[in-house]
Amino acid sequence: MRQVCVVVTARPSYSRIKTALEAIKDHPDLNLQVVLAGSACAMIDQVRQDGFCPHVVPCLRGKYTHIAMAKTVGTAIDELAAKFENMEPDIVVTIADRYETLATAIAASYLNIPLAHVQGGEHTGSIDDKVRRAITELADFHFVATNKADRVIRRGRWFPDIKGRIFNVGCPSIDLCARVGLDPGVWGTYAMIMLHPVTDEPEDTAYEGLVQIVRAMENLKMKAYMAPFNIDAGGAGIRNAVYELIGDDHPLIQVLTPKKPEEFLELVGDSAVLIGNSSMGIRECSWLGVPAINIGRRQQGRECAANVLHLPTRAPASVIEGAIRCQQEIGRFPKSELYGDGTAGKQIAECLSYVSLG
């Protein structure tokens, strides 16, 4: 039986791979190994509740700074290499473009363990692009989410049998969207705010970005939920803005605690609009038909469906207000299958069961 080790390094990565974990676990020819590393270690109880038995690799070396990101990668390489040596997987799966995923790719590659990469070939700007391209070069197999990503990797890879190494399966997070099964004719009047730091922008840019969004909500008297943000460099700016502008008792905006992927998707799916710079506005919202307003260049270059409206990095509150009104006038968008048809997890498991690892 083939041993498949999937390394999850952050909460968003778990939601992006959960259906694949389920399919691998249920496949008769595969044995699933789950490793939680980085900030994903805090999810151990939830992952266990979902029926998985994860190994834990603590490797975080701080939050919100560039040096913390670099040190975390170094520690993760060390810890993951030791874990792989002990677990002896036949193939390792790494997800997306988080900086910790680079450690997964390096550790597996130097131990001569075949590496599969989920969500390669995309373009989003900042350090994420460099990480994603580096993993693409290290990976042996590629589970891409779109036709364009497929073409990008085919142009850049030298494999003589490249047709057997790239699989356009869609994004597993779309599987969860299909599972939630929301009523497209019913949605709320609140906004979802999902804002993350951009690693090559000053910290005050992230701070000011949330300031303008909060002002827009207040001017429109619109209720909103603020989702958890990631721990990348620049995140302290968002943290400070949350403390200063929202806190625990804002009359319109509530800061959310982490939720299960399906519960969070239900909240997003029932929202009137998603605002910020999260890929969820582009991926999951394209399937759900939720209007999205992407601010800044964090998702610059990522393929978008009709539901996404782009604004510049330092968009003032008045411009954000106008964008919200514009999106509200349109209402729900038609479901898009740009990022898959809801079967990615099963496709990934099936591919992992038969690809040649020699």
pLDDT digits (tens, 9 = 90+) for 272-284: 999 999 999 999 9
pLDDT of amino acid 186: 66
Beta strands 91-95 and 2-8, pairing class: parallel
Question: Judging by beta carbons within 10 Å of its beta carbon (0-12, 13-18, 19+), is residue 283 exposed, middle or buried?
Answer: buried
pLDDT of amino acid 187: 73
Closest to 1 in 3D by CA, of 100, 112, 69, 89: 89
pLDDT digits (tens, 9 = 90+) for 193-224: 999 999 988 889 999 999 999 999 999 999 99
pLDDT band of residue 125 (cuts 50, 70, 90) is confident
- Residue 128, both tokens: 């994420």
Contact 67, 57 (CB under 8 A): no
CATH superfamily, region 2-171+340-354: Glycogen Phosphorylase B; (3.40.50.2000)
H helices within the chain, ranges in order? 11-26, 44-49, 66-87, 99-110, 126-138, 147-156, 172-180, 203-220, 235-241, 261-269, 284-288, 317-330, 344-354
Sheet holding 273-276, edge to edge: 253-255, 224-226, 191-194, 273-276, 292-295, 308-311
pLDDT band of residue 156 (cuts 50, 70, 90) is low
Give ∠ CA 26-32-38 in degrees, rounded to 5. 130
Q: Is the pLDDT of residue 159 over 60?
A: no
Q: Is the pLDDT of residue 158 over 60?
A: no
What residues pair up with 292 in beta bridges, in sequence order? Answer: 274, 308
Q: What number is the average pLDDT over the span 28-46? A: 96
**For the range 306-313, what are the long-range contacts, defined as Cβ-Cβ under 8 Å and sequence gap of 24 or more?**
306/333, 306/334, 306/336, 307/281, 307/333, 307/336, 308/281, 308/282, 313/201, 313/205, 313/209
pTM: 0.95
Q: Which fold has domain 180-330?
A: Rossmann fold (3.40.50)
- Residue 65, both tokens: 């700074």
2-171+340-354 and 180-330 agree in CATH topology: yes
Average pLDDT, the chain: 93
Query: Looking up tokens 């207000």, which residue turns up?
Result: 321
Give the separation between CA 189 and CA 46, rounded to whole angstroms: 29
pLDDT digits (tens, 9 = 90+) for 318-333: 999 999 999 999 889 9
Q: What number is the average pLDDT over the span 62-67? A: 94
Pick 13 or 188 by higher pLDDT: 13
Q: What number is the average pLDDT over the span 277-300? A: 95
pLDDT of amino acid 274: 98
Domain boundaries, the chain: 2-171+340-354, 180-330
- Collapsing DSSP to helix, strand or coil, 228 comes out as coil
pLDDT digits (tens, 9 = 90+) for 224-246: 999 999 999 999 999 999 999 99
pLDDT of amino acid 317: 98
